Amino acid sequence: MHVVVNAAMSADGKLSTRRREQIEISGTRDFDRVDELRAESDAVMVGVGTVLADDPSLTLDDPERQRAREDRGEPANPARVVADSQVRTPPDARVLDEAALTYLLVSQAALTDFVTQMEDVGATVIVAGEDRVDLVTALAKLEGDGIDQLMVEGGGELIFSLFEEGLVDELSVFVGSTVIGGRDAPTLADGEGFVEEFPALSLDGVERVDDGVLLSWTVTDAA
């Protein structure tokens, strides 16, 4: 499986505000690039923190891209993947609508009733890990289901864990021309943070996009 992390951050590295409300950091061209990246992916992944904060749809905005996927024999939208150990995703979340197949990655600690409720609203539930989703096992199961190209949009907790497990192959970050600040505002990679054995990146590109900069790296020590 090839895993691409893509996110947008402020000049000071924040994904959103301390209130964790969704804010637009990307401009029109960058959102269009994100739509294309989604269109090229088999699935788009977020953590449950992003579902609770943003209620994203994770589907394609451009109907032409949906048609092109269907012409290739693919579903109109890539599948959606949510890492959600205890099933905190609300049953009426937009990621559970009928626009695309949705995988819910849960742990063994998830209550059976909640899992059943998710299956009843159409989610495909994958159990991996005791208390928290074991991302290595879960992504291997997704790969077994034909997910070869996985795009991860965030947030910072999930992105850190994927780096920690050596699961990220590429990182692209749009840096917007604004400062958000706040010690509790989410950053690109949160979690516990590294104190040694930092992931090594090789810079592939620097491009001016909208009123910001798109930075692209290959992860050189991915597992």
Ligand X SMILES: Nc1nc(O)c(N)c(N[C@@H]2O[C@H](COP(=O)(O)O)[C@@H](O)[C@H]2O)n1
Q: Which chain residues interact with ligand NDP by CB under 6 A?
A: 7-8, 15-16, 20, 22, 25, 46-50, 53-54, 83-86, 88, 132-133, 135, 153-158, 161, 186, 190
Stretch that binds ligand X, among 50-58, 178-186, 195-203, 206-214 (CB under 6 A): 50-58
Q: Does 57 bind ligand X (CB under 6 A)?
A: yes
Q: Which is nearer to ligand NDP, 54 or 210 (CB)?
A: 54
**What is the DSSP track for 22-67?**
----S-HHHHHHHHHHHHT-SEEEEEHHHHHHH------S-HHHHH
* Binding partner at 58 among ligand NDP, ligand X, none, C-beta below 5 to 8 Å by kind: ligand X
The rounded distance, in Å, linking the Cα atoms of 185 and 25 is: 14
CB of 173 to ligand NDP, least distance (A): 8
Q: How many residues of this chain bind ligand X (CB under 6 A)? A: 16
62 close to 40: Cβ distance less than 8 angstroms: no
Alpha carbon of residue 104 to chain centroid: 13
Give me the residue label for tokens 């099933």: 87
Q: Residue 54 or 134: which CB sits closer to ligand X?
A: 54
Does residue 153 bind ligand X (CB under 6 A)?
A: yes
For residue 133, which phi and psi values (nearest 5 degrees)? -60, 125
Q: Considering the complex, what minimum distance in angstroms separates the CB of residue 135 from ligand X?
A: 17
What angle do helix axes 28-39 and 63-71 make, rounded to 10 degrees?
Answer: 20
Interaction between residue 118 and ligand X (CB under 6 A): no
